[in-house]
Amino acid sequence: MLFVLNIGRRDPMSDLIQDTPAALAWAEAAEKRHKTGKFGEIVQAVIWTDARSLDGLLKVDVDPEKLVAQINLEPFVLLHNHDPGCPKGKLLESAYFESAAGRKFVAAVIGYYAGGDVLSFRGLGIDAGELVTPPERLPRLPDDLRIQIGTDARDVDDNWLNQITNDPPTRIDRRNLSHNAAQSLQELIVIGLPYVVLVWNPFVKAFATEAGKVTFAGIHAWLRKLLTRMADRRNPILDFHSHQDGCQISFLFRGKDEKILHTALEKLAGAAAQAAQLVSRLKIQGKVSKQLVYEFDKDALLWSPSFVILTDDRIITDNLALIAIENLPKGLSLGLTRSDSV
């Protein structure tokens, strides 16, 4: 699930840590463990409490011990306003505690990218605008091919989802996202796709099977219709989300302008081919990519890499404003899904 961490750079809830000796000792030791220079600032925070609303229900209804286990197994990037294109830092480690007064809470340490060991594409000799030709031959589609759609029910209603999924080209699985905020600035819609679908283009000359040829074309026709339906939404961010060579790759379609969205789709195959090459080139340099996000420039009408997060926790970006933490909002979000990842 995607939920809000109601924290800024100075967290008032951190008093729970200060007032609980075991939590304070853990937090101070955790801070030392992560002060490697990769992050510009490391802070303590409380990311969950057993606080309840007037009706007696937990304000954030998650199992705290499962949350801790999930975070410590696979730490999460912190996002600004639930936007997958705006990373601010990383939730590095967490632990579950109970205060002397009986308050249950989850403490964490957070690392902010700004001021840390930030790399740039230019500095690494990588041309972020290099054009790459997509493949002319495509392999067989997986037998269990499916499209995954992740949305928050408070932003995207079931009626609209039913309409866009009533005649799918292949199996569609839905996933629930929740940012646990009364109101969000954007409507995030995550579309999970096999990477081979992203590099499809009308000029592909050879397919592994004739049925695959029909399925590829059907999926892209459906994606085109989906982009047209963005006109129904308020302020959508459509995240075409896939994996390649161990890296999670996202292509972000923003807004409702049908012409721009369709142009972005037409140029997606080349961008996807470039992304695969970028991941490979970084690996040759000894830098293993964990997450790569592409944005579409509405003026230049081109895709380009916005940032890469490496397995060693460093970030690569040519846009330092992207990770700036001045005037940091109180609400940062943490990307999790209620079931399997989209």
pLDDT digits (tens), the chain, 342 positions = 444 454 544 455 668 999 999 999 999 999 999 998 899 999 998 988 998 888 988 887 889 999 999 999 988 888 887 889 999 999 999 999 999 999 999 999 999 999 999 999 999 999 988 888 887 777 777 778 899 999 988 889 999 999 999 888 899 999 887 655 545 678 999 999 999 899 887 766 555 455 567 888 899 999 999 999 999 999 999 999 999 999 999 999 999 999 999 999 999 999 999 999 999 999 999 999 999 999 999 999 999 999 999 999 999 999 999 999 876 655 566 654 333 344
Q: What is the DSSP letter of 249?
A: E
Q: Is residue 325 part of a domain?
A: no
- Rounded-to-integer distance, Cα 109 and Cα 120, Å: 25
Cα–chain-centroid distance for residue 336? 9
Q: Is residue 14 part of a domain?
A: yes
Total structural domains within the chain: 2
* 66 and 208 part of one domain: no
Q: Is residue 340 part of a domain?
A: no
* 104 and 144 part of one domain: no
* 261 and 149 part of one domain: yes
- Rounded-to-integer distance, Cα 289 and Cα 156, Å: 31
* 178 and 252 part of one domain: yes
* 105 and 145 part of one domain: no
- Rounded-to-integer distance, Cα 256 and Cα 229, Å: 8
Neighbour-count burial for 36-46, b at 16+ CB within 10 Å, e otherwise: eebbbebbbbb
**Closest among 299, 246, 237, 242 to 271, alpha carbons compared:** 242
Other C-beta atoms lying within 10 Å of the C-beta of residue 202: 9
Q: Which domain holds residue 298?
A: 137-316
Name every residue whose Cβ is closer than 8 Å to that of residue 82 and which is 6 or more positions away in sequence: 2, 4, 179, 181, 184, 185, 186, 188, 333
* 179 and 281 part of one domain: yes
